Amino acid sequence: MQNLINLYKTPSDLYQKVLNRIENEKNIAIIKKRLIVSSVVFSIAITCFVFSILFFLTAASQSGFSQMFSLIFSDFNIIPTYFTNFILSLLESLPTFNIILSLLMVLFVSSVSRFLTKDIKNFVIYSHVKY
């Protein structure tokens, strides 16, 4: 009878291991939710970035910026002669709102990707904890 009691004795740190495992599972559940939200926001950010680039390209072609900019490659010999007029024409036809929008989208995508990689790293760390 005494041998059976000794056989079923629990380790002294079992309670702490169970509490640690419960805490780890809570952390994993929180990280999974954050990972899903970060992934959705990242896909939305990438989509917005692509549309902002397309919006910029459309505005650049409508404003004449792309035609003025292509003069650099086609008639480079004329540009030094009319340098100030050429630069002013480029600046006038520059779609600044679209450039600012595209840069903001780059900032948004980079910040969301930072959060996404942080969540992925935390998920990998917490999911591989052994007790």
Averaged in consecutive runs of 10 residues, what is the pLDDT profile of the chain (131 residues)? 64 85 90 94 96 93 87 86 90 91 95 94 81 56
- Domain tally for the chain? 1
Task: Identify whether 80 is part of a domain.
Answer: yes
The two tokens of residue 119 are 């969540």
- Would you state the pLDDT for residue 5? 62
- Would you state the pLDDT for residue 3? 64
Task: Identify whether 12 is part of a domain.
Answer: no
What is the reported pTM? 0.73
Residue 75: exposure state from Cβ atoms within 10 A (0-12, 13-18, ≥19): exposed
Task: Identify whether 86 is part of a domain.
Answer: yes
Task: Identify whether 7 is part of a domain.
Answer: no
Task: Identify whether 59 is part of a domain.
Answer: yes
- Would you state the pLDDT for residue 129? 66
The two tokens of residue 76 are 């480079």
Task: Identify whether 71 is part of a domain.
Answer: yes
Task: Identify whether 117 is part of a domain.
Answer: yes
Cα distance between residue 104 and residue 109, in whole Å? 9
Cα distance between residue 24 and residue 34, in whole Å? 15
Task: Identify whether 77 is part of a domain.
Answer: yes
- Would you state the pLDDT for residue 104? 95
Print the domain residue range for 33.
Answer: 17-127
